Amino acid sequence: MTVSKAAEKSAEATAKGAEAARARKDAPDDAGEALQLGELSEQLGYVLKRAQLKVFENFLHCMASLQLTPAQFSVLLLVEKNPGRNQTEVASTLGILRPNFVAMLDNLESRDLCARIRSTNDRRSHILVLTDKGKAVLSRAKKLVATKHEARLNELLGGANREALIAMLSKIANEF
């Protein structure tokens, strides 16, 4: 038997002991079901990922009537704030690769939320603009985010903590 296999057998014995104790429910401080997270609950990456999934899930739920994903909402917000920019500029600002931005825009354009316009300065570029409908939908989206999504967060953390959280996350996103 190899050293590694011997260690595995030893671990196996320990594991089976724990399993048997749990089966007999004779471990006093063992709830009997849930696993202990241990150091995992202090790992930034772990809680960050779990929190992000929850926030996106809630966002999608709040936006169900408008059928907007977080990524689509971010595109509409950025195009509204920066009229006259091309696909490369908008995509790179959002961390989206240009090839992957094509299908996203196809979707938004097919729903008449935004439009590509060939630039007269540089005929290679497509300038992005919100349509009338795009502006209206974005306006409704902002209201839904404020009254449902952000309101829920304020309720959970309080306004001051919410601002501190955003500030720390921004710092990590920009400087880590």
Binders of its own copies among 34-73, rule CB under 8 A? 34-56, 58-59, 70, 73
DSSP state for residue 39 in the 8-state scheme: G
Interaction residues for its own copies, span 16-35 (CB under 8 A)? 16-20, 22-23, 34-35
Distance between CA atoms of residues 50 and 81, nearest Å: 30
* Site membership for DNA, residue 96 (CB under 7 A): yes
* Site membership for its own copies, residue 159 (CB under 8 A): no
Interaction residues for its own copies, span 71-130 (CB under 8 A)? 73-74, 77-78, 80-85, 89-90, 93, 95, 112, 115, 117, 119-121, 127-130
Distance between CA atoms of residues 95 and 118, nearest Å: 23
Distance between CA atoms of residues 170 and 79, nearest Å: 21
Q: Which does 27 bind (CB under 5 to 8 A by kind): its own copies, DNA, none?
A: none
Beta bridge partners of 118: 126
* Site membership for its own copies, residue 173 (CB under 8 A): yes
Give backbone dihedrals phi and psi of 68, rounded to 5 degrees, phi first. Answer: -115, 130
